[in-house]
Amino acid sequence: MMNPVIETILQHRSIRKFEDRPLTDEQIRTIVECAQAASTSSFVQAYSIIGVKNKETKRKLAELAGNQSYVEHNGHFFVFCADLHRHEVAGEMEQKDVLPSLESTEKFMVALIDAALAAQNAAIAAESMGLGICYIGGLRNNLPEVCKLLKVPKRVIPLFGLAVGYPAQQPDKKPRLPFEHVYHEETYEQDRTKFESQLRQYNDTVSAYYIKRTNGKRRDTWTGQIANMLSNPARMYMKEFVEGKGFNLR
Amino acid sequence: MMNPVIETILQHRSIRKFEDRPLTDEQIRTIVECAQAASTSSFVQAYSIIGVKNKETKRKLAELAGNQSYVEHNGHFFVFCADLHRHEVAGEMEQKDVLPSLESTEKFMVALIDAALAAQNAAIAAESMGLGICYIGGLRNNLPEVCKLLKVPKRVIPLFGLAVGYPAQQPDKKPRLPFEHVYHEETYEQDRTKFESQLRQYNDTVSAYYIKRTNGKRRDTWTGQIANMLSNPARMYMKEFVEGKGFNLR
């Protein structure tokens, strides 16, 4: 059950160090066209992509994302945005009141899902060309500043970056949750004992991965790492911010 | 700039009629493993997939999704869910208070994005095997009933279905928004006249597509179709529903 597509997908690892070599315009165009080929909810195409080449803009984005050097140093930097701005314009062009729709939580979800489907096509396309990628959720640390920098209007939210470039490292693949824990047959798993024992099994896998990778210095489990991270609520300004952008209001 | 991966991605079209031929367990496993290989925000893996084979369940889902026959008749039906349930369990296992995080709009976004990235990997993997796919947003017509049927707990939201199977039709590719309208260089497009003229250009493309496809019976424009659809607010129960599931509360 192997083919070049599945091979590309299964070979994925995030690349956090790139050669100093820009993508060509043709590469950028192909990546964006692949993004656009993704499915979209009822044809709405509720996303935009901002491509950043400018070194100063990249440097500022890297700072805003928490000083991740690969946001500054890469072959190209894409910013994927949820976008209902063009739908507001469409409503004005057609003289229809589309605001209650645009402000709904349903359309907020549609825009997020549309943007992510497009982004994953872009990621796979880039990887198929021998490039590496890393998603940059760190952009959400400070979206007001990101919006100012990229001149993003109302009804547009930068969701994450995608750093793309020629890999200058070859990290290990990170082990995923057990198949049976993620894939449920017919109904969601009801057996709490089984559910927890799958998480414990995964903890052993993740520990072994870290021990091997750090010569025993780190031995984090998954539940330990996740519970630690989640016990420090992050980006709690988000609700107010997305509402201010005209999303998720009703 | 063509390779088998990019070819698969650019060849995408949604399939709404499948042969009566189930996927093998091996095909299902490969598709799910490809989904799992996608990037995930800070390793959280905030999604689950429910696979439905049962004919009666499929029939009910088809009804709930607005009588789409391809929800009932396909090779396999996947339901992609935003999932923070396992993270709540992780918090309990580690005795950490993770609730403020789990209830944040930020983590709602993370779960939606994670689920969509995984789903698009699944879609591309399926298409690379010669299968066809169709995303089923119609599941969101009635999520309380979908949750009951699939026994989905709190902190899990079914987002969309993915019908997969052997194609029994070969529809045309639907034209996408102009490249320049979706892809912005350095900053978001500020010129409203240019922005609107791109939409008008696209209206002509979309009209031509419908005229050809329906022998002149349909001549919808994109802004017309979208403004019409959005002027009828849909699924306005969503905000209350996702809050009831423990998401998007603060």
pLDDT confidence of residue A11:
97
Report whether A103 contacts A250 (CB < 8 A): yes
Q: pLDDT at residue B1 above 90?
A: no
Q: Does domain B4-171+234-244 have CATH number 3.40.50.300?
A: no
The pLDDT-based confidence of A127 (bands split at 50, 70, 90) is very high
DSSP single-letter state for residue A233: -
Percent of the residues in chain A that have a pLDDT greater than 70, as a whole number: 100
**Model confidence pLDDT, tens digit, residues A99-112:** 999 999 999 999 99
Task: Give chain A positions within 8 Å (CB) of B59.
Answer: none
Q: Phi and psi for A185 in degrees, rounded to 5?
A: -100, 120
Region B22-31: mean pLDDT is 98
Q: pLDDT at residue B58 above 90?
A: yes
**Model confidence pLDDT, tens digit, residues A40-61:** 999 999 999 999 999 999 999 9
**Residues in A 118-177 with any Cβ partner in B closer than 8 A:** 119-121, 123-125, 127-129, 133-135, 137, 140, 149-153, 156, 159-160, 174, 176-177
**Across the interface, do A116 and B121 touch by the CB < 8 Å criterion?**
no
The CA distance from A34 to the nearest CA of chain B, in Å, is 6
DSSP single-letter state for residue A50: E
Region B169-190: mean pLDDT is 96
Domain boundaries, chain B: 4-171+234-244, 179-219
Q: Whose CA is closest to A182, among B49, B156, B115, B15? A: B49
Report whether B35 contacts B122 (CB < 8 A): yes
Q: pLDDT at residue B60 above 90?
A: yes
DSSP single-letter state for residue B73: S
The CA distance from A189 to the nearest CA of chain B, in Å, is 8
**Model confidence pLDDT, tens digit, residues A156-200:** 999 999 999 999 999 999 999 999 999 999 999 999 999 999 999
Q: pLDDT at residue B193 above 90?
A: yes
Whether the ipTM is more than 0.85: the answer is yes
Q: pLDDT at residue A1 above 90?
A: no
Region A201-208: mean pLDDT is 97
Residue A91 has its nearest CB partner, among B120, B152, B227, at: B227
The pLDDT-based confidence of B50 (bands split at 50, 70, 90) is very high
